[in-house]
Amino acid sequence: MEEIPLTGGRVTQGVVRKGGYVYRPCCANADFVHRVLRWLERKRCFAAPRFIGIAQDGREVTTYLEGESPDNLGCFNDAQLYAAGQIIRELHDALSDFPAISDAQAFGQTVCHNDLSPCNFMFRNGLPYAVFDWDAAQTGDPLDDVAYAAWMWCDIGNADNTPADAGHKIKVLLDAYGLPNKTRARLIEHIHAQMRRVALSAFAAHTPQWDACGQWAEACDKWLYEHQNEITSGELP
C-alpha cells in the first residue's frame, strides 16, 4: 500500500500514512508513549490515536486520525477553545491513575502531553477532537500542560491581540477545563515558566531555526510581563 507523507511535524520527520494507519520513527520516549496510548484506549478515551504496534522496520504504528490540523497558531473562536479545554481535561483525568505515577497521585500529578499546541490537535467539522504527537509525554503537573496550551491556543504574546482578548480566551479555556479559581491565580506564573522552558531548549539547539523560536518565546514572555495585570484584572480571576 502506498505511503503518503504527512507534513506539519516540526520535530519528528518521516511520518507517513498507510491506509488507516500512521507509521512514524520511534522516539527516545517510545516505550512510555506506547504505554500511555494503550492506557487511554483501555480507559476508552478516544481523544488520542490508538497504538497498534511496531512494524518490521522498527517504526511505530498508530491509527490515523481523520480531519485537519492547523499548520500554525491562529485566532480560535470560543467554541474551539472550549472544546480544546474539555479534551485536555479528559486526557488528564484518564491518565491521573496511570500506573507509572502511582507514587505521585497525592501531589495531583498526571501524564502531561507537554506540547498541547493547536498544531497537535486534529479538527473535525471545525472543532478539535483529538491530540497526537505524544513524543514529549511524561509525568508532571497538569497546570504546566494547561499553561502551555493557554499560551499556544490564546496566542499570548501576539501584539495583534489585546490583553482583554487574551484574558477572555484564557478564561474560556480554563472554564472548559474546570480549573478552580484558587488554582487560576498560579496560571500566569506557569505560563512564564513554559515560555522560559521553550526559549532555553530552543537556544540550546544552536541552529538559526531554533534561535528564532527562542527569540519568539522570549518576546512572548516580555509581552506577558508587560500586560499580565491587564489580563488578570479583567475576566480572568
Is 138 among the domain residues?
yes
What the block records as the C-alpha cell of 155 is 496566542
If asked whether residues 59 and 136 sit together in one domain, one would say no
Assess whether pLDDT exceeds 90 at residue 179: yes
Per-residue confidence (pLDDT) for residue 206, from 0 to 100: 86
Banded pLDDT at 108 (limits 50, 70, 90): confident
Cα(135)–Cα(31) distance, integer angstroms: 10
pLDDT exceeding 90 applies to what percent of the chain? 80
Per-residue confidence (pLDDT) for residue 13, from 0 to 100: 75
CA distances from 38 to 33, 35, 48, 93, 105 (A): 9, 5, 10, 15, 20
Cα(77)–Cα(79) distance, integer angstroms: 6
Is 196 among the domain residues?
yes
What's the mean pLDDT in 83-94? Answer: 98
If asked whether residues 89 and 59 sit together in one domain, one would say no
What's the mean pLDDT in 171-177? Answer: 97
DSSP E strand boundaries for 102-219: 110-112, 121-124, 127-131, 138-140
Torsion, Cα of 65, 71, 77, 81 (10° steps)? 60
Centre a 10 Å sphere on the Cβ of residue 191 and count the other Cβ atoms it contains: 27
For cell 504504528, name the residue. Answer: 61
Q: What is the CATH number of the domain that holds 125?
A: 3.90.1200.10
Is 70 among the domain residues?
no
Range of the domain at 209: 78-232
User: Which tens digit of pLDDT belongs to each residue from 216-230?
Assistant: 999 999 999 999 999
Per-residue confidence (pLDDT) for residue 8, from 0 to 100: 58
What the block records as the C-alpha cell of 150 is 493557554
If asked whether residues 37 and 86 sit together in one domain, one would say no
Is 122 among the domain residues?
yes
If asked whether residues 34 and 145 sit together in one domain, one would say no
- Length of the chain equals 237
Which of the listed residues 14, 35, 63 is the one where a domain comes to its end?
63
Is 109 among the domain residues?
yes
What's the mean pLDDT in 173-184? Answer: 94
If asked whether residues 174 and 224 sit together in one domain, one would say yes
Is 170 among the domain residues?
yes
Cβ atoms of 129 and 87 within 8 Å: the answer is yes
Number of domains in the chain: 2
Per-residue confidence (pLDDT) for residue 111, from 0 to 100: 95
Per-residue confidence (pLDDT) for residue 7, from 0 to 100: 73
How far from the centroid of its chain's Cα atoms is residue 114's Cα? 6
Is 73 among the domain residues?
no
Is 220 among the domain residues?
yes
Per-residue confidence (pLDDT) for residue 11, from 0 to 100: 53
If asked whether residues 115 and 204 sit together in one domain, one would say yes
User: Which tens digit of pLDDT belongs to each residue from 3-49?
Assistant: 898 875 555 678 999 999 999 999 999 999 999 999 999 999 999 99
CA distances from 194 to 54, 119, 152, 197, 217 (A): 32, 17, 11, 5, 9
Banded pLDDT at 208 (limits 50, 70, 90): confident
If asked whether residues 152 and 122 sit together in one domain, one would say yes
Cα(37)–Cα(62) distance, integer angstroms: 9
Cα(69)–Cα(55) distance, integer angstroms: 25
Per-residue confidence (pLDDT) for residue 48, from 0 to 100: 98
CA distances from 136 to 46, 50, 81, 111, 195 (A): 19, 17, 22, 10, 16
If asked whether residues 127 and 227 sit together in one domain, one would say yes
Centre a 10 Å sphere on the Cβ of residue 49 and count the other Cβ atoms it contains: 22
